[in-house]
Structure formats: C-alpha cells, structure tokens
Amino acid sequence: MDEPHNNEILLDVENLSVRFAVKRGSSWGKKSYLYAVDDISFEIKRGETLAIVGESGSGKTTAALAVARLVEAYQGKVMLSGTDFLKLEKEELRQARAQMQFIFQDPYSSLNPRVRAERIVREPLDSLNAVPEDERQAIVDNLFKAVGLHPEQQRLFPHQFSGGQRQRIGIARALATQPELIICDEPVSALDVAVQAQILNLLRKLQQEFGLTFLFISHDLGVVQHMCDSIAVMYMGKIVEHADRLSLFNNPLHPYTSALLSAVPSVDRKRRETTKRILIPGDPPDPLALPKGCRFANRCPAAQAQCDLSQPELKEVAPGHKVACHLVDSKAVSPL
C-alpha cells in the first residue's frame, strides 16, 4: 500500500462520551449517570488497525458500539470519511451502515440458528439492495471462498459448524457490503487458542486483500501484539495511553499499561526472566462516585499526592505517543 494512501484518516472520533442513567434508592431517588465512555478521541488511518484494550468494564466495547451507533452517544463526533456518522438519520444512516460493519464476540449467539449460512452472509446484500439480485449469489460464493469455507457448506445451519467456522461466517457477513471500516469486538476471545491464531491470520490476510480498516477491541495485549498498527489503552472510561504498537510494547509509560504488559505470557525465556511482574492491588473506583484525580491512583504503585488532586490530560510526550499521567513528562520515562 502506498504511503499517501496510508496517511488518509478514515475514522476520526472526537470527544466521544456514553452515559447511562442510574437511579439510586427508591423510584423517586436522584438520578445519577454512569459515564461508560468519558470524552475519548482517536483516529484510524485507512488500511490500518487500531486496537482498544483494557480490562472488563473499561468501556472499550461500549466505545465501539457507540461508534457503530448500536448504543446512543451522549456527545461527540464520529467522522467516517469526513461525514459525521452520529448525525445521519433514516435512509442516509441505512446506506452509511454498509460502510461500517461489526464482527461480534460470540460466534454462537451472533448467528440466527434457524437460517442457513448462505442466507446469513447474503442478508446484508438483500437488505441494502445496493447490488443487483442476479449478482448476489456470486458475491456470497466468493466470500465463502475468501474466508476458507467450502461451497457445499452454504446449505448448512450454524449448529453444524465449529466455533471457528461460525466466526468465519460472521466475517463473511461483515465483508458482504464491502465496508470501509470493520469493528472487531473481541472476535477470538470465545475460541480455542489454536483457532484464535487461524482467525487472526485470516483477518490480516483479508485486510491486505481488500484494503480493510479495523477497529479491534480486546482485553488481551498478547492477541493484539501482531495484529495492530496502534493501540489505545482504556481504564474506567478514559484512554490512558495511545501509541503505535512498537512504542507501546517497547516503552510503556502509563503504570496501568506496564501492568497489563507484564501479565502477557511469552515463549521467550529471556524475556520472561527480564520482565518484572507488576501486580495491581485493590479494585477500581465506584463508577458512580469517581475520584477528582486520576482514576487509577488508588491502585497505582507509583502514585503521589498530586495524582489525587486533578485528572491528568492525555498529552503527547513523544512523537505519536500520548499518555495521561501526572508523573510522565516530555522525557517520556515511565514512573515505575
């Protein structure tokens, strides 16, 4: 892929927030808001992959759902090829959905058990009517071949496939409308380790073949290590670190990122011996009563008094490397 093509921004998310109303006490109690995603911004260049990683409850999946308008955003912009996806309505939104497709986490529940595989993959083409009817079957045939399934499997029902094969059907369905962006929400977490590698290799192959752009959601830094061009780390609804893959793995700056990386298993004996395991004590703060300062401060092994006073901004401390930590300055040195 040529360099100018790579520099084009396909997805630009600005100040995205998602909140959910929560009532405390009786039905007449005061309404509180849980900010599952709190004012995050990121961008993805065309043909590249951005991973959003974090533990359960960090807000990564909610952020992806908000980008795809599968949950309602409270505020922000989602610019897809220069158009604000959040402002589209009715027919404009229906047509724009063809450009943004979703691969879901669970290949067992994301496919209709009463529908044959052929119809599952063809359904987006039928609903959008963007392709002449006499061409749709050829597209389905090509998609089955592209994801490594046999033509005769088109007549089977989902229960007749293995987990990895079901996820291949989900990938074929996502590709049917020739989308510009595919959001992968933990696409391999429900699969065996050996099958995970097969699906990740398939996604990389399809990306090169079709020039796809991925937003990849995962809790596992080991999975994204060989998959992504850049990584955003989320904690309690905020992005705490954002960098290209090599910078993040070679020089993690936020203590939370360092702790996540120290837990990634490695077959490299030398790396295992030199990697210091960082344990994160305690529990995350109450999402309905967030602290005034850094949200990670109560668990951070490097926390100082200033960390409790104000929330750190996500700032660039090295070219392309952003971190939200009071203890990291322009020297880009980890506090741990």
Query: Domain boundaries in the chain?
Result: 3-235
pTM: 0.90
**What pLDDT sits at residue 209?**
93
**What pLDDT sits at residue 175?**
95
Q: What is the layout of strands, in order, in the sheet containing 321-323?
A: 100-103, 181-185, 213-218, 49-53, 230-235, 238-244, 321-323, 315-318
Least Cα distance to 54 among 251, 260, 244 occurs for 260
Angle 217-223-228 (CA atoms, 0-180°, nearest 5)? 65
Query: Where residue 86 falls among pLDDT bands split at 50, 70, 90?
Result: very high
| 103/96 Cα distance (integer angstroms) | 17
What letter represents residue 199's amino acid?
I
**What pLDDT sits at residue 269?**
64
Q: Is 289 left (phi over 0), alpha (psi -120 to 50) or beta?
A: beta
User: Any alpha helices (H) in the chain, and if so which ranges?
Assistant: 3-6, 60-67, 90-96, 117-128, 133-146, 163-175, 193-210, 221-224, 245-250, 255-262, 269-274
Q: What is the pLDDT of residues 40-59, one digit of tens each?
A: 999 999 999 999 999 889 99
**What pLDDT sits at residue 274?**
62
| 194/219 Cα distance (integer angstroms) | 18
Mean pLDDT estimate for the chain = 90
May I ask the CATH architecture of the domain 3-235?
Answer: 3-Layer(aba) Sandwich (3.40)
Q: Cite the beta strand spans of the chain per DSSP E.
A: 9-23, 31-45, 49-53, 75-80, 83-84, 100-103, 181-185, 213-218, 230-235, 238-244, 315-318, 321-323
Torsions phi, psi for 42 (to 5 deg): -165, 165
Q: Give the least confident one: 38-47, 68-77, 272-281, 283-292.
A: 272-281
